Amino acid sequence: MTAAVEVKPTKTRRFRFNWVDSFLWFIRVAAIITIIVGFIGSIQLFLAGEGPTLQQWRDLVISSISQGAMYGLIALGYSMVYGILGFINFAHGEVFMSGTMVGYVAANLLFQAGMWEQNIVLSLFIVLIVAMSTSMLVAMLVEKAAYRPLRGAPRLIPLITSIGVSFFLQYTFAGLFGVGVRTYPALPESISGRVVILGVPIETTKLLVIIVAILSTIILWYFVTKTRTGRAVRAVAEDKEIAGLMGINVDRTIVTTFAIGGAMAGVAAIMWALLFRSVDFTTGFLPGIKAFTAAVLGGIGNLPGAVLGGVLLGLFEGTGPLLILAGLGIPAVSQLKDAVAFIALVLVLIFRPSGLLGERLGSEDRV
C-alpha cells in the first residue's frame, strides 16, 4: 500500500504535443488579445470624447460593485451547498426569487398601509425579514423533499433533480402569483438621492446595498468561525462521515446550511428590490447562474471567495462590455452583458476551476 493519504499530485507538464492543450492555449491567447485590443480601443474612444464620461464610468463601477455584492450573497448559498453536499443546487436561484416575490407582497402591503412612506427604515426591515424567512423556508423545504432522499447518490442525480426543482419552483410561483411583473414601491424622497462619501457621490440605494452586503458577510463570517453550529457546518463540509462519528447531527447541520444559504439569498432579494425594483417569476434564473459563476470564480466551498467572486463578476459584467467590447467596435454592447458573464463562467471553469482563493471540497469530492 502506498501513502495512507492520496494527495493530489503536483502539476507536471506532460511533455508531448497535445491537441487539447494547444486548443486551450489558443483560447487563452485569443482571450488575452481580445481583452487588450478592446481595452486599447476603449481608451481611444474615451480620449476621442466618445463613449462614457469619467463620471459615467464612476457610476458604472459603483453600480457594478453593488450588483456584484448581490451576486456574492447569492453565491454563498451555492458555495455552501457544494462544499457540503458536492452538487450544484440549480434551484438556489429560485430560492432567491421567492424572497423577491414574497418580499414584494410585504412591501406592497406596507405601502398601501402608508407605512412605507412614513417609516421606510422599519418597512425595509420588515420586508427583509419576510424575504429572508421565505427564502429560508423554501430552501429547507427543497432540501427535505428533494435532496435528502438522494444523499449518497452519484453526484449528477441531485444536480438533475435540482434542475427539476428549479423549474417546478419557477412555475409554481408563476401559477400562484401570476406571470405579471411586480414592481416594488419607489423609495420615498427621504432616503433616495445621492450621498457623498469620500468625495464620490453614490446613490443611497447602492450604498445601502453595499453596506448590507458587508454587514451580512461579517455576520456570516462570525457565525461560521466562532459559533458552535458554524463549526459543525465546517466539519460536515469537510467530512460528513467523520463529523457524524464525532457526534454532530449531520442532517440538522445540512438543514442549517441550506437555511443560511437561503437567508443570504433573502438578503440579496432585498438588494434586488432596491436596485431593480421589478420582479417576476423568472427573476431568479440569470442571477442564479451568475452567482454560481461567482462562487466558482472565488473558489467553490470558500465563503470569502464567493463574495469576492460576486463583486469581481459584477465588475466584469458591468464594465466589460463598455470597457472591452465597445473598443472592438461592436455595436449595442449592453445586449451582450449576459454573454460576458457566461464567457467569464466558461473561462473560469476551463482554466481555473479551483477559483481564485482555492476550493474547499468535502473529503468525498476531493480527488
Residues at the site binding another protein, with contacts judged by CB under 8 A: 1-4, 6-10, 12-16, 19-20, 23-24, 27, 87-88, 105, 108, 146, 149-150, 153, 155-161, 163-172, 174-178, 180, 289, 292, 296, 330-333, 335-336, 338-339, 342-343, 345-346, 349-350, 353
The smaller minimum CB distance to another protein, of residues 38 and 230, is found at 38
Q: Are 126 and 110 in contact (CB under 8 A)?
A: yes
Q: How far is the CB of 285 from another protein (least distance, A)?
A: 8
Angle of helix 285-298 relative to helix 54-85, nearest 10 degrees, comes to: 80
The smaller minimum CB distance to another protein, of residues 33 and 219, is found at 33
Length of the chain counted residue by residue? 367
The smaller minimum CB distance to another protein, of residues 165 and 263, is found at 165
Q: How far is the CB of 244 from another protein (least distance, A)?
A: 20
Helix (H/G/I), strand (E/B), else coil: 291 = helix
Q: Are 68 and 310 in contact (CB under 8 A)?
A: yes
The residue among 361, 139, 84, 142 whose CA lies nearest residue 267 is: 139
What is the C-alpha end-to-end distance of the chain, expressed in Å? Answer: 18
Q: Which long-range contacts (CB under 8 A, 24 or more apart) does 220-229 make?
A: 220/76, 220/260, 220/264, 220/303, 221/303, 221/304, 223/260, 224/303, 229/253, 229/256
The smaller minimum CB distance to another protein, of residues 79 and 205, is found at 79
Q: What is the distance between the alpha carbons of residues 359 and 303, in angstroms, rounded to a whole number?
A: 10
The smaller minimum CB distance to another protein, of residues 178 and 201, is found at 178
Q: How far is the CB of 89 from another protein (least distance, A)?
A: 11
Q: How far is the CB of 333 from another protein (least distance, A)?
A: 8
The smaller minimum CB distance to another protein, of residues 39 and 342, is found at 342
The smaller minimum CB distance to another protein, of residues 112 and 190, is found at 112
Q: How far is the CB of 97 from another protein (least distance, A)?
A: 14
Q: What is the distance between the alpha carbons of residues 161 and 88, in angstroms, rounded to a whole number?
A: 10
3-state secondary structure 206-240: HHHHHHHHHHHHHHHHHHHHHCHHHHHHHHHHHCH
Conformational region of residue 183, where left means phi above 0, alpha means psi within -120 to 50, and beta covers everything else = beta
Conformational region of residue 111, where left means phi above 0, alpha means psi within -120 to 50, and beta covers everything else = alpha
The smaller minimum CB distance to another protein, of residues 41 and 230, is found at 41
Q: How far is the CB of 178 from another protein (least distance, A)?
A: 4
Strand pairing partners for 279? Answer: 182
The smaller minimum CB distance to another protein, of residues 158 and 310, is found at 158
Q: How far is the CB of 121 from another protein (least distance, A)?
A: 24
Q: How far is the CB of 61 from another protein (least distance, A)?
A: 23
Q: How far is the CB of 236 from another protein (least distance, A)?
A: 20
